[in-house]
Amino acid sequence: MLLRAGERPVTELAQELGMTQPGASKHLRVLREVGLVRDRKAGKQRLYGLDARGLRPVHEWAGGFERFWNESFDRLDAYVQDLKQARQEE
């Protein structure tokens, strides 16, 4: 969430998360290794940013559930509309 607005230095991220800088760096290294964040050196700082390419498999996986729920709600809406129409005709 902290990286949604753009790149941030590890020291700033650590402070926001209430962590030590080494602790935050360790977590960020893991996220970098799995392709969720990228980093670059800017002077003496290391800046971290989101790498949306790493989120593509998660997005595709979740998309299946989105389609399922959209279809389910469409069927429920059609059923409710049929019930309303049947009551009006009584």
Q: Residue 37 belongs to what domain range?
A: 8-50
Residue 12 forms part of a structural domain: yes
User: Are 45 and 17 in a shared domain?
Assistant: yes
Residue 2 forms part of a structural domain: no
Strands (E), 3-70: 8-9, 37-42, 45-50
Residue 1 forms part of a structural domain: no
Pairing of strands 37-42, 45-50: antiparallel
Helix (H) or strand (E) holding 77: helix 56-89
Tokens of 80: 């409710």
Whole-number pLDDT of residue 61: 85
- pLDDT per position as a tens digit, 10-59: 999 999 999 999 999 999 999 999 889 999 999 999 999 999 887 788 88
**How many domains does the chain fold into?**
2
User: Are 41 and 18 in a shared domain?
Assistant: yes
